[in-house]
Amino acid sequence: MLTGRVDLSNTAGAVLGMVAIGARSGYEIGRAVERSLRFFWALGPPQIYAELRRLEAEGLLRGADETRGKRPRRTFEVTAAGERALRTWLERDEPVPLELRDPQLLRLFFADALPGVDASARVDAMRRRSERALDHFRAEILPAADGARADGFALPGEVARFGVELHEFIVGWCDRVEAELGEDRG
């Protein structure tokens, strides 16, 4: 069907957007996701390939076969209809929730539901996680965002800095809470 969806899902928007900024194959999209969207919109290979197939069937992407020997390979580009759909999705202004799903915060929430559970250990795990995340941002995501900036895309850099500052905020919060918990015990 060549008319396409009017309302893209967020995952469809992410995949279409990735093709729009230059990722051609499922694999390239997967690589780009790992270096950019990953921390606020994770996508695994099965989702990417399934979405590519749907978007092509709807006429929002045009696929080309680049099979070599028995190894299948397919590359994509955005059609005019795809660009319209992407624009509509980008500009949509419904109230979208911030979906945070954090097992660590969940454990901390219940840490005093049972006697003898060490809340500080939960907070410490949270802090270490954000420190690891910061390493990853500095090693992978910020450099990739600089690359995007060189290609004329500025927003990936802003979003990457959001990630960095978010984790810095979490580290600071953990330090404050650990100090408080220490006082209560002391």
The residues binding its own copies (CB under 8 A) are 10, 13-14, 17, 20-21, 36-37, 39-42, 83, 86-87, 89-93, 95-114, 117-119, 121-122, 125, 129-130, 132-133, 152-156, 158-159, 162, 165-166, 169-170, 173, 177, 180, 184
Question: For DNA, which is the closer residue by CB, 101 or 185?
Answer: 101
Q: Which does 130 bind (CB under 5 to 8 A by kind): DNA, its own copies, none?
A: its own copies
Angle between helical axes of 119-136 and 155-185 (0-180°, round to 10) = 160
Return the bridge partners of 152, or none: none
Task: Let me know if 87 is exposed, middle or buried by CB neighbors in 10 A (0-12, 13-18, 19+).
Answer: exposed
Q: Which does 43 bind (CB under 5 to 8 A by kind): its own copies, DNA, none?
A: DNA
Question: For DNA, which is the closer residue by CB, 8 or 174?
Answer: 8
Compute the distance between CA of residue 56 and CA of residue 178 in angstroms, rounded to an integer: 51
CA-angle at 94, arms to 91 and 99, nearest 5°: 105
Residue 71: which residues within 8 A CB-CB, separation 6 or more?
none
Which residues of the shown chain bind DNA in the complex (CB under 7 A)?
Answer: 9-11, 25-28, 30-31, 42-47, 49-50, 53, 68-74, 101
Question: For DNA, which is the closer residue by CB, 3 or 9?
Answer: 9
Question: For DNA, which is the closer residue by CB, 28 or 178?
Answer: 28
Contact present, 4 and 32 (Cβ < 8 Å): no
